[in-house]
Amino acid sequence: MKKIYIISFLFINLLIYSQKVTITAIGDIMAHDNLQEYALANEAGYFVLFEKTKSIFLKDDLTIGNLETPVCDTIPIKGFPQFNAKTSLVTAIKNAGVDVVSLANNHSYDQRDIGVTSTIEAVKKEGLIYSGTGFTPEIARKPVIFSKNGVIFGFFSATFSINGINIIEEEDKPYVNLVPMENEKRLENFCKIIAETKKTVDFMIVAYHCGTEYTNTPIEIQEKALKKIAESGADLVLAHHPHVLEKIEYFKTLDKRNVLIAYSLGNFISAQARYLPKLKNNNQIYDSVLSKTAEGIILQLDVVKWDNNLNIVNPRIIPIFNISFRTEQNKKMYQGFQTTLIEDILKDDFTDSRFESNIPDIKKLVTYRFEKIKKLIDLPVVYENK
């Protein structure tokens, strides 16, 4: 009984004296052309893409995502290989509860200087916190510092590639924070900035776009780079680029910090998951890239400040699946996409008129992929709507 009293006393004091920040991290926000055409034909616009997840982001303290497209209203919408979306995508991201975006990825420079500039202006207009690009190289290489619930955060972003596009580094030109994994000098400089920033903040978040597409296992150079970033002072490392899920693990640094590294959170919104026409009676679909790019996770964790020490507490995941369907808007057919919580899909009463006839096949596929996710990501699964 005495032990219970001691634990209760400590827990009560933790609640009274600590600062806690609940952080949510999501994967890639893509803008394929058919996905955009569907969203923009909808009355809600891009916001329709966040319909099933917005409640999660609106009730946490901080939501972080990877915006993997430039946004510019003077350029038509474009899909792969050189993306562009309307600036209203950023408005939808903001209204859906996303607070922080990484702008450094291999598609950051798809629309060259005008795309970088327009994206920054749209993000700043909506009041989002961002890192990874800048109106000048100096700004692009500068971390952002902000405060939440009494905790001072640093956020810093870079990408290993801009798909081979030549970007000229000039003092007064827009720039993407380009840090190739194999470029030891640039990676070292990136880590030095992280180390210096860590001295002035409580908690350092680093987003690094790197890896190999469509593989569930990190490659050696990717793993070394992310661990080097952790050693340099990052407390949470969020990686993107594979478009499929990879492991999440604690990494013990030489200075005894437990850094959480997410090697890839997979896609959050994309049109890579065009599996539905091939779904029926096709067992190969279960382990295909089409199915793997449809799944992702929402990572959540609590950062708790107690007696001037910070800890990551209770990391957990909310698995998601991007369902594709055919739909009619204004007498025209579109291919629609809906990021949906896996827990909702697997409910007995799950229904949706947009893909009603395919629900048994969808459930079968998602049940199979859910088991794969649980084996790959060794963190507790949160059931949001139970």
Count CB neighbours of 196 within 10 A.
13
What gap in Å lies between CA 142 and CA 158, rounded to an integer?
10
Q: Is the pTM here over 0.85, yes or no?
A: yes
Distance between CA 291 and CA 278 in Å, rounded? 11
Q: What is the pLDDT of residues 64-121, one digit of tens each?
A: 999 999 999 999 999 999 999 999 999 999 999 999 999 999 999 999 999 999 999 9
* Residues in the chain with pLDDT values less than 50: 1-12, 16-17, 277
Q: What burial letters (b/e) apply to 236-273, b meaning 16+ CB within 10 Å?
A: bbbbbbbbbbbbbbebeeeeebebbbbbbbbbbbbbbb
Cβ-based neighbour number of residue 185 at 10 Å:
9
Burial 89-119 (b: 16+ CB within 10 A, else e): bbbbbbbbbbbbbbbbbbbbbbbeeebbbbb
Domains of the chain: 18-376 (3.60.21.10)
Provide the CA 333 distance to its chain's centre, in angstroms: 30
Phi, psi of 47 (to 5 degrees): -60, -25
Running DSSP on this structure, what letter comes out for residue 278?
G
The predicted-structure confidence for 196-206, as pLDDT tens digits, reads as follows 999 999 999 99
